[in-house]
C-alpha cells in the first residue's frame, strides 16, 4: 500500500511486479515465478478468497520445478490465512506467508526485507526437510501457522507464538531453525461452512448473541470465554440450546495464550461447558478455532472428527532444538502468489 492524500490514508496500489522490483537481492536467492492475485485488502478476505489462494499455492507446489511458495498479503488476517493454508497443506514443501507493517511510502517500510527473508525461508532445503508446513515470516522471525498471533496493531515484531515460541529466525543470510514443528492439524476439503461465528464473552454478555446467530442459521459457533473457559450461565444456556439444535460449539479462551479447560465447575465455568457438550479448542485462539470449525464442517466431520481436529496434536512444551544452518543458495525456484 501507499499513502493516498485524497483518500486520507494507505490504499493498495502496488502489483506483485512492483513489490519484486522494490526488493533487491532476490535473484541471488531463488528463481521467482510471480503470480499476481490482485489488490484486495486482507480485511476483505472471505473463504472464497482463501480457497483461491490455496488453489494457487497447491497448483504451484504440484510442479516438480517449484521448491516453495511465498504468499504476500496484508497483515490484518495473516494468522487466519496462514492457518487456513496449513490445515489444507499436506506436503513437505515450505509455504511462507509474509507482509509489511508499514506502507511502501513510509521511510521505515519493511516490505522488501520481509519478502527477502520469506524467500530465504521458502528456498531453504533445511526448512523443506523439516516439514514445517505453513509458517509466517516477518521481522526476521519464523512462526508456526497454528500458534502465531498478531499481538500489536503496528509494531514490527507483532507476530508472536505465545504458546510454543517461534520456530527460528532469519539472521542475516542464515535461516536458523530452533525447534521442530511436529505434527499438525490437517483436514481435506474444498468447502467451508460460511456461517460459523465467533462470540467473545465479556462482562454482562448473556445468551442474546448466540440465540440471535442461531436464529439466522449459524452452522457452528466458537465461544471465546474468559480465563480458562468461563462465562455467565446464561451464555452457556444459549449454547446448550444451539447444541440441542445440532450446531457444534467450540470452547476457546479469549486470552492470547493458553487453553480453555475444565478447571472451574461453577455455573458457566469451563467444566460445565465441557459437560454440556462443547468441544475444547486446545491452544487455538478464537479466530483460528473458527477457521478449523468452518473447514471441519465443510469436510463433513462429525463430533468425533471435529474434536480430533481441534485438539492439540502434540504437547506445547516441545521446544527441542532442531537446526542452525545456512540458507540454501541459488538452487531453488519459489512461487510467489502476491496480494
Q: Is the pLDDT confidence value at 338 over 80?
A: no
Q: What's the rounded mean pLDDT across residues 234-257?
A: 98
- Phi-psi domain of 234 (left: phi exceeds 0; alpha: psi -120 through 50; beta: other): alpha
Instruction: Please report the pLDDT score of residue 28 as a whole number.
Output: 95
Closest CA to 114 of 39, 188, 26, 205: 26
Instruction: Please report the pLDDT score of residue 314 as a whole number.
Output: 80
Arithmetic mean of pLDDT over the chain: 93
Instruction: Please report the pLDDT score of residue 323 as a whole number.
Output: 33
Q: Which three cell numbers stand for residue 245?
A: 439444535
Contact 302, 87 (CB under 8 A): no
Minimum mean pLDDT range among 7-16, 141-150, 198-207, 329-338: 329-338
Label residue 85 by pLDDT band (50, 70, 90): very high
d(CA 64, CA 194): 34
Give the max Cα distance, the chain: 61
d(CA 127, CA 233): 47
Instruction: Please report the pLDDT score of residue 315 as a whole number.
Output: 72
Instruction: Please report the pLDDT score of residue 336 as a whole number.
Output: 58
Q: Is the pLDDT confidence value at 339 over 80?
A: no
Contact 15, 317 (CB under 8 A): no
Label residue 319 by pLDDT band (50, 70, 90): very low
State the residue for C-alpha cell 480465563. 227
CB atoms within 10 A of CB 254: 18
Q: Is the pLDDT confidence value at 281 over 80?
A: yes
Q: What's the rounded mean pLDDT across residues 121-148?
A: 96
Instruction: Please report the pLDDT score of residue 335 as a whole number.
Output: 59
State the residue for C-alpha cell 481436529. 309
Residue-wise pLDDT tens digits, 11-55: 999 998 899 999 999 999 999 999 899 999 999 999 999 999 999
Q: Kindly list the structural domains of the chain, giving each domain's residue range(s) and its CATH number in brackets, ordered by start.
A: 2-184+322-338 (3.40.50.1170), 196-310 (3.40.50.40)
Q: What's the rounded mean pLDDT across residues 115-125?
A: 96
Residue-wise pLDDT tens digits, 178-223: 999 989 999 999 999 999 999 999 999 999 999 999 999 999 999 9
Label residue 301 by pLDDT band (50, 70, 90): very high
Backbone angles phi, psi at 166, to 5 degrees: -70, 160
Q: Is the pLDDT confidence value at 324 over 50?
A: no
Q: What's the rounded mean pLDDT across residues 288-312?
A: 98
Q: Is the pLDDT confidence value at 231 over 60?
A: yes
Closest CA to 148 of 129, 167, 171: 167
Amino acid at each position: 500500500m501507499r499513502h493516498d492524500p485524497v483518500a486520507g490514508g494507505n490504499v493498495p496500489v502496488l502489483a506483485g511486479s512492483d513489490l519484486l522490483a522494490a526488493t533487491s537481492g532476490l535473484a541471488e536467492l531463488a528463481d521467482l515465478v510471480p503470480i499476481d492475485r490482485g489488490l484486495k485488502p486482507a480485511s476483505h478476505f472471505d473463504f472464497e478468497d482463501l480457497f483461491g489462494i490455496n488453489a494457487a499455492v497447491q497448483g504451484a507446489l504440484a510442479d516438480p520445478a517449484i521448491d516453495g511458495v511465498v504468499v504476500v498479503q496484508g497483515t490484518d488476517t495473516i494468522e487466519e490465512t496462514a492457518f487456513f493454508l496449513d490445515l489444507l497443506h499436506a506436503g513437505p514443501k515450505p509455504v511462507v506467508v509474509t507482509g509489511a507493517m508499514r506502507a511502501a511510502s513510509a521511510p521505515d517500510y519493511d516490505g522488501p526485507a520481509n519478502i527477502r527473508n520469506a524467500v530465504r525461508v521458502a528456498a531453504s532445503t533445511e526448512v523443506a526437510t523439516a516439514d514445517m508446513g505453513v509458517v509466517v515470516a516477518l521481522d526476521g522471525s519464523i512462526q508456526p501457522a497454528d500458534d502465531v498471533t498478531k499481538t500489536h496493531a503496528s509494531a514490527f515484531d507483532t507476530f508472536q507464538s505465545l504458546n510454543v515460541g517461534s520456530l527460528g529466525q532469519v539472521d542475516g543470510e542464515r535461516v536458523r531453525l530452533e525447534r521442530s514443528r511436529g505434527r499438525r492439524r490437517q483436514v481435506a476439503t474444498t468447502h467451508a461452512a460460511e456461517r460459523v461465528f465467533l462470540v467473545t464473552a465479556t462482562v454482562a454478555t448473556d445468551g442474546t448473541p448466540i440465540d440471535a446467530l442461531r436464529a439466522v442459521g449459524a452452522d457452528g459457533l466458537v465461544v471465546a470465554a474468559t480465563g480458562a473457559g468461563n462465562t455467565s450461565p446464561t451464555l452457556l444456556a444459549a449454547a446448550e440450546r444451539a447444541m440441542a439444535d445440532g450446531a457444534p460449539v467450540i470452547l476457546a479462551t479469549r486470552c492470547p495464550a493458553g487453553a480453555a479447560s475444565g478447571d472451574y465447575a461453577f455455573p458457566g465455568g469451563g467444566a460445565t461447558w465441557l459437560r454440556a457438550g462443547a468441544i475444547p479448542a486446545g491452544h487455538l485462539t478464537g479466530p483460528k478455532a473458527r477457521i478449523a470449525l468452518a473447514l471441519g464442517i465443510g469436510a463433513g466431520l462429525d463430533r468425533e472428527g471435529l474434536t480430533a481436529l481441534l485438539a492439540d496434536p502434540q504437547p506445547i512444551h516441545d521446544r527441542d532444538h532442531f537446526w542452525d544452518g545456512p540458507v540454501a543458495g541459488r538452487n531453488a525456484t519459489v512461487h510467489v502468489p502476491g496480494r
